[in-house]
């Protein structure tokens, strides 16, 4: 049975996510229309600008369909801006910004400052053997965690950078830019289990 994973390809580093899925031999498709959304078994929301992703999702008639699919248990994986798009609350969002939901968390955008404050770190990650080398680029941080949310990864100072709730997975960093594909493999497992 074919279970293609979609990559929301409106803005951000969606190409790198497709390449990461390719490196795992996983079928994947760009998603830019409601029809393409219907053809996939899970969805990755890439890093980029969360405000722009929201506006484009609305403009492409994808916002409501994605929101409804996630609410019904559709597997979704958000990195950086994608994590912001899955949060139930965006602490410092713009007045007109809305998320897709899926994770009962509060997220602060650009929690680490601007592009110049980007950094890399080795982290433990639940479900992944060994350390994960993570790149943080204008990354968000999870500041509040709902009772149903599982913490998957934290910085050495305890700040939360990886969470999961049911079939929704969100991380603050960019595994797709450091050649790290094990978290994508973990998400693929979620997609297979859900179908």
What residues act catalytically? Answer: 80, 174, 176
Secondary structure element (H or E) that encloses residue 66, with its range:
helix 63-71
Torsion of CA 119, 163, 43, 97, to 10 degrees: -80
CA nearest neighbour of 69 among 97, 47, 101? 101
User: Rounded to an integer, what distance in angstroms lies between the CA atom of residue 150 and that of residue 186?
Assistant: 15
* 8 Å CB contact between 175 and 184: yes
First to last CA, the chain: 10
Q: Which residues contact 130 (CB under 8 A, 6 or more apart)?
A: none
């Amino acid at each position: 049975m074919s279970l293609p994973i979609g990559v929301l390809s409106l803005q951000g580093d969606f190409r790198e996510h497709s390449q990461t899925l390719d490196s795992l031999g996983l079928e994947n498709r760009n998603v830019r229309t409601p029809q393409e959304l219907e053809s996939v078994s899970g969805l990755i929301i890439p890093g980029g600008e969360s405000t722009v992703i929201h506006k484009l999702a609305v403009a492409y008639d994808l916002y409501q369909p994605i929101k409804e699919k996630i609410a019904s248990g559709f597997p979704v994986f958000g990195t950086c801006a994608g994590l912001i798009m899955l949060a139930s609350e965006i602490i410092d969002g713009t007045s007109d910004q809305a998320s897709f939901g899926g994770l009962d968390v509060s997220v602060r955008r650009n929690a680490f400052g601007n592009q110049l404050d980007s950094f890399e770190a080795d982290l433990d990650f639940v479900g992944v053997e060994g350390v994960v080398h993570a790149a943080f680029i204008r990354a968000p941080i999870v500041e509040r965690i709902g009772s149903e949310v599982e913490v998957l990864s934290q910085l050495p100072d305890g700040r939360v950078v990886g969470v999961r709730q049911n079939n929704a997975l969100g991380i603050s960093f960019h595994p797709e830019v450091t050649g790290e594909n094990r978290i994508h493999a973990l998400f693929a497992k979620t997609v297979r289990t859900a179908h």
